[in-house]
Chains A and B, each alone.
Chain A
């Protein structure tokens, strides 16, 4: 064994991390080679010196100081998150909101024209945006495709074609008024009055985007169609829960309704309607899912600062096919039925349960 070879392995030898055969070879060499032996001793000393370096104690209160800073970081983060959400003009998030609305409108359009199956989830980025920015977004009436438009332009189109009372919702909570929504409020109300004038298609599609932040809703008044359809929530009709799989993609997807009804609240009902309390609802509905569905429905309330008369609401009911007529009568007793549109043609099969989509328009003045 030559010296160079030995010296390369000295480090490992001194750590005793060599295999026994090599150890024997090196030991033999060291015994016969004074320079290598000296080298080994020096290295061994050096390593011992290193190992003898004492471990020091960190300064007293180190962890406490770190944690104090950590809490500062955390409260700063919270403050920033909060301030983004509360910006009165909403400017930093308006772009995100515009993208969201564009995505929604494309999605709804595609679904309406049968281009994609209902269960197709929205694009991945839409959800976080929705959670972060939007409160209640209603996209309504004749939603045109904005497929290839750039976000800003898409926002403009969406603004024009969306049922305009939603413009107020959007502006109040999450303004995108600077991105192409109509400027004047009078026009808004006029357009609200004529959704059924829209030719040949489901005039209204309401999509709700939940914020997941109840604080946003706390100040909102209940929209209160509860009383108007309250009776329909009891057997044999029940508020239909979305199937679990569908709910997973909620709020951007919805079940395939068999029949779509568009009803209009009567003016006098606005004065007399009383929102059911949560307890009532829970008692009336046997299924836990129904409670969830009702909670979802209740989420479609106006944004803070909004009146409750201009909101398009959407409810779902499961109705046995042979009882559909009765359901319709009850509904008619409580609100004007503006249109009725069978979608799947399932209505004739009397053994099945129909999924009814009821779109509730604001009342006539």
Chain B
């Protein structure tokens, strides 16, 4: 069970930097975009997945994220980090998708909690309880306000530095900290009811 390491600004081992890739794509080397896709697909997919809580929706949305980035790459300037820029696109699209998905169906906030089973099956060794906890955490995340969910996903799941979170969300570091505090409190309030009740029962 490997969690994503610090993904903002991470650069795998490829020798070509993101910035150089972007320059090449801007010069018309379309195929170079694949380097960027492969380098960031996992981070983006997980970011979107945690925002949406649905594997297929996440796959579809992630694809749109990369396509949007490709279409707009001509406007990308070197003054921002490419991954920061990409994360911003991903969070915007996830928030939009979340809104429309929430309106379209109640998939994200199922009443009985049974809808969150499309997370990968980690095998029979995985205890039912752990799986259930994960599903509930995910469900609690989906119930948060989008901006609260964003800050938690970036900081607690993606392990991004405060400064990176601030850059992606385009807010001051101080705001990141206070929003993070508020978001965690809100998440805790939702989790407490079942997670801690469950643990006490053991």
Contact = CB atoms under 8 A, between A and B. Distances in A.
Contacts of A67: 31, 33-34, 37
Contacts of A55: 2-4, 42, 46
Nearest to B25: A70
A56 interface: yes
Contacts of A52: 1, 3, 134
B122 A54 contact: yes
A47 B157 CA distance: 9
Interface string A37-68: 00000110111011111111111001101110
A12 interface: yes
A289 B63 CA distance: 50
A53 B134 contact: yes
B120 A56 contact: yes
Given A11-B180, A46-B187, A69-B67, A63 B37 contact: yes
A86 interface: no
Contacts of B156: 47, 50-51
Interface stretch (B76-84, B97-105, B188-196): B188-196
Judged by DSSP, the binding face of A is helix
Contacts of B86: none
Contacts of B70: 70, 73
B129 to A, nearest CB: 12
Contacts of A47: 156, 184
B184 A11 contact: yes
Nearest to A59: B59
B33 A70 contact: yes
Contact of A56 (B31, B55, B195): B55
A12 B173 CA distance: 13
Contacts of A74: 30
A56 B188 contact: no
B66 interface: yes
Contact of B3 (A42, A54, A57, A66): A54
A49 B2 contact: no
Nearest to A77: B71
B157 A50 contact: yes
Nearest to A69: B67
Given A50-B137, A54-B122, A56-B120, A62 B62 contact: yes
11 contacts: A42-B192, A45-B191, A46-B187, A49-B137, A49-B191, A56-B49, A58-B42, A62-B62, A63-B34, A66-B63, A66-B66
Contacts of B199: 45
B117 to A, nearest CB: 14
Contacts of B37: 62-63, 66-67
A71 interface: yes
A11 B63 contact: no
Interface in A289-319: none
Contacts of A70: 30, 33, 66-67, 70
B133 interface: yes
B119 A56 contact: yes
Interface in B126-182: 133-134, 137-138, 152, 156-157, 159, 162, 177, 180-181
A244 interface: no
A69 B70 CA distance: 10
Contacts of A53: 3, 50, 134, 137-138, 157
A42 B137 contact: no
Contacts of B115: none
A8 interface: yes
B31 to A, nearest CB: 8
